Amino acid sequence: MGIHCEYVRVSPAELQRSLGDPYWAQEHIDELGDVWAEEDRLSPEEAPYFSIEKSWHKLQPR
């Protein structure tokens, strides 16, 4: 168990919807994550979803 870090690229309209409907936002993120995990992974620059899982702590400045 631990903290997993996920990045999601959303449009301005999706961001607004997410702010007003957190349940929809979580469902949308889960769907993007499922597609990312099941299909050939796109590069981080192209993917609407990207997870660095537990490696997030390496981003901390020293």
Q: At residue 22, does pLDDT exceed 90?
A: yes
Give residue 33's domain range: 5-59
pLDDT at position 34, please? 85
Would you say how long the chain is, in residues? 62
Which residue, 7, 20, 14, 8, is CA-closest to 55?
7
Which pLDDT tens digit goes with each residue over 42-57?
776 777 887 777 776 6
The residue-averaged pLDDT of 18-24 equals 96
**Non-local CB neighbours of 47 within 8 Å, separated by 6+ positions:** 9, 36, 41
Which residue, 30, 31, 34, 36, is CA-closest to 50?
36
Q: What is the count of structural domains for the chain?
A: 1
